[in-house]
Structure 1
Amino acid sequence: MSVKIGYARVSSRTQSLDVQLSALEQAGCTKVFSEKFTGTTTQGRDQLEALLDYVREGDVVVITKLDRMARSLTDLLKITGKLESKGVQLKVLDQSIDTTTPEGKMTYHILGAVSEFETSLRKARQRAGIDAALAKGEDSPFKGRPPSIDVDKVRETVARLGNKTHAARELGISRQSVYRLTA
């Protein structure tokens, strides 16, 4: 008898898992592992590791979308390789993938490749936008945060007090900042 084990993931702490958790519950998952962590790597994804340790032969891992499991084809293949070695199948709800069938396995590999391609395109577009903004020079939105510490005020306070530690205390900044700015 197969047991359905769910996995839900969002990329940032501000995103909600509710939609995925509801879909996994409706799919009949008896246990769900969920986390808020980037999908670009498998390192640090404790709940994914816990899921991979938990599943047993005959279980089915259920996810809502393929990119919830991994963003790169390499990671996706590693994860499903671990699942396959344990005799565990994968079911992707929104993309109708079910690796218990040959067709499902083929669809899974095709969509995994397309997903990685989309991620690469998105990164390339983002990089092109940043490069274009940087090319604007002073008008670039990527010039960094304005300095929050007035260097002249730091030097003046150190000269007046004669002590870098006291100057840091008076200005409410770290000693390291005072030393860095007066070096």
Structure 2
Amino acid sequence: MFVGYARVSTQDQDTALQLDALAAAGCQKVYQEKASGASRRGRQELARCLASLGPDDVLVVYKIDRIARSLFDLLGILRHLERVGATIKSVTEPLDTTNSMGVFVVQILGAVAQLERSMIRERSIAGQVAARARGRHPGRARAMSPEDEADLVRDYLAGGFTYDSLSAKYGVSPSVAKRAVYRVTKPAAYQRRAKV
């Protein structure tokens, strides 16, 4: 049986292109999700898809980078497919893991995809560093003024307030309240998270 898997990284993106291609490839069942490839927790449909595969099943993807976030991840998926007797096929790339040359091609494509993602990340970080050097701070503007943030943190440190109650009092989301508190109470941890 041909089993398809489609993934986009964010809720704003659309899987329609991938779904059309998987249908044209003859997939009888398709798993799809909107989740970052960097998070195993975010790829629950991939786990269900892999668990459903058995002997002679073919896992069909639009592109190899839709299923694996790194070469290590790809090799783990290939080992799983080999254990259950399934193979993998890409709609847009010449992949066929029923032979050793096909496995080699998959590994090369996985390495190239990993290199491309690393280069994109490096460029993104370099752009953020350059923007900070020019006095710009990438990302959204803060939801609260510095004065309101200081008042919120004072309320939190005085006790008796949860993030939910602070968010209601100041008209912001609980995550905004939590970030404001973390910037004061855990500055080193907050800086590390902000740089990722």
TM-score tier, shorter chain, comes to 0.7 to 0.9
Task: Output the CA distance in 2 between the equivalents of 1:31 and 1:84.
Answer: 20
TM-score normalised over the length of structure 1: 0.78
% identical equivalent positions: 37
SS in 1 for 2:73: helix
Q: Which runs of 5+ in 2 are unaligned?
A: 152-159, 182-196
Query: Is 1:145 the equivalent of 2:145?
Result: no
TM-score normalised over the length of structure 2: 0.73
Task: Output the CA distance in 1 between the equivalents of 2:51 and 2:131.
Answer: 45
Q: Which runs of 5+ in 1 are unaligned?
A: 156-163
Q: Deviations over 1:144-183 (max 9, x none)?
A: 624624738x97xxxxxxxx99xx99x9427x97xx7xxx
Task: Output the CA distance in 2 between the equivalents of 1:142 and 1:4.
Answer: 43
Structure 1 position 18, deviation (Å):
0.8
Structure 1 129/62 Cα, relative in aligned 2: closer, same or farther at 3 Å? same
Q: Is the 8 A contact 2:32 2:45 kept in 1?
A: yes
Structure 1 20/147 Cα, relative in aligned 2: closer, same or farther at 3 Å? closer
Structure 1 141/93 Cα, relative in aligned 2: closer, same or farther at 3 Å? same
Question: Partner residue of 1:35?
Answer: 33
Task: Output the CA distance in 1 between the equivalents of 2:99 and 2:139.
Answer: 53
Task: Output the CA distance in 1 between the equivalents of 2:69 and 2:46.
Answer: 14
Q: When the two structures are aligned, how many residues end up with a matched partner? A: 161
Instruction: Give every structure 1 segment of 4 or more consecutive aligned residues whose post-TM-superposition deviation is greater than 6 Å.
Output: none
Structure 1 118/54 Cα, relative in aligned 2: closer, same or farther at 3 Å? same
- If you compute each CA radius of gyration, which structure gives the higher value, 1 or 2? 1
Structure 1 position 84, deviation (Å):
1.2
Q: Is the 8 A contact 1:41 1:70 kept in 2?
A: no
Task: Output the CA distance in 2 between the equivalents of 1:78 and 1:58.
Answer: 19
Question: Partner residue of 1:111?
Answer: 109
